[in-house]
Amino acid sequence: MLGPFHTFMTGDTMEWFEKKGIPLKIEEDGRIFPESNSSQAIIDCFIKETERLNIEVLKQHPVKSFKKEMNNWLVSTENKIFSSKKLMIATGSNPKIWSFLKNLGHSIVPPVPSLFTFNINDNRIKDLPGVSTLASVSVLSKEGTTKLNSEGPLLITHWGLSGPAILKLSAWGAVDLFDVNYQFRIKVNWLISETEESVFERLKELKNKHTKKFLYTNTQLGLPKRLWQNLLAASKILENQKWAETTHFQLKELASQLTQSIFHVQGKSTFKEEFVTAGGIDLKEINFKRYESKIHKGLFFAGEVLNIDAITGGFNFQNAWTGGFIAAKAIATKD
């Protein structure tokens, strides 16, 4: 995407929307959203533009087939047959369209889900839905080594863990996690960059400072109160225990829980969070200067129909809009 991004990138996108009266904002982690936090603002903007430009949007025209005859593309729907010299396909993750393209000679990288939450049943996060905190998360291999890492907001849900930190891992590890049937382990550092050793030293200082206070009511290290209490319980620290009464072993265990909590993931979400697919048309078969097929002249693509996927926060949209912009320029060129 580096080459295409030189032609149309996020700055171009933001300028376009702001000229249409849709101000955008950039989050600390680089994600971009409407200032209104409403996706409807984007939808309404596009609909308004199609009306302004007299673009006809045909609904309830499911595609039955498309093929090339002589120099023209023929697209058959249930209602009509359309003919054109150039054809643009921006159908997203559509297995039926991929099947048509495969019959035309294109290679399809098998699709797998991306952007999903992790199903986890663990007492440390039980009864904490809605609790959110910054954390770093790593996916562990069978040998216990780190394969994938991310950090950012981590959201505890009814069924496990979600939030940007998890969604990024699900995107980067889409194929690997599919291969292990979504059965794997993750390591969570609730304090992001702290080490077990540095946290142990901080806990010893807190013990000396808060000797007569109860740990369960004396939340520390910036953690949400209920999460702090669950990690105390996992460290075998009693509810009526004061800081002065904690043992060396308990503080070591708490330091470990705070920086190296191991969770067993047993499946992924099946809810609406899973809205992106990794896989699609093999990128080797695309001319990215035009977003045109190298196999069939006059056949163009953009968006997730290609084997391109990204994390949440506007990145998949940017992929689609960059491709759409470049393909449109190529389609408009007389050749």
- Give pLDDT tens digits for 236-279: 999 999 999 999 999 999 999 999 999 999 999 765 444 578 89
pLDDT for residue 83 is more than 60:
yes
Phi and psi angles of residue 299, each rounded to the nearest 5 degrees, phi first: -110, 120
In this structure, are residues 41 and 34 in contact, taking their beta carbons and an 8 Å threshold? yes
pLDDT tens readout for residues 152-166: 999 999 999 999 899
Phi and psi angles of residue 148, each rounded to the nearest 5 degrees, phi first: -130, 140
C-alpha distances out from residue 66 to 62, 85, 97, 113, Å? 12, 12, 9, 26
Domain spanning 2-113+277-332: which CATH class is it, in words?
Answer: alpha beta
Residue type for 128, please? Answer: L
pLDDT tens readout for residues 278-315: 899 999 999 999 999 999 999 999 999 999 988 777 88
Phi and psi angles of residue 301, each rounded to the nearest 5 degrees, phi first: -140, 155
pLDDT for residue 29 is more than 90:
no
DSSP string, 232-278: HHHTT--TT-BGGG--HHHHHHHHHHHH-EEEEEE-B--STT--EEE
C-alpha distances out from residue 127 to 130, 214, 227, Å? 9, 22, 10
DSSP string, 135-194: EEEEEE-TTS-EEEEEEEEEEE-SSEEESHHHHHHHHHTHHHHHHTTTEEEEEEETTTT-
Q: Which helix (H) or strand (E) holds 30?
A: none
The pairing of strands 286-287 and 118-119 is: unpaired
Average pLDDT rounded to a whole number, residues 192-199: 94
Residue with tokens 């190296």: 260
| 3-state SS assignment for residue 114 | strand
Phi and psi angles of residue 184, each rounded to the nearest 5 degrees, phi first: -160, 180
pLDDT tens readout for residues 106-140: 999 998 888 899 999 999 999 999 999 999 999 99
- Spell out the domain ranges in the chain: 2-113+277-332, 117-274
| 3-state SS assignment for residue 101 | helix
Say what the pTM is: 0.75
Q: Quote the percentage of the chain above a pLDDT of 90.
A: 81
Instruction: Check residue 298 and give its pLDDT.
Output: 95
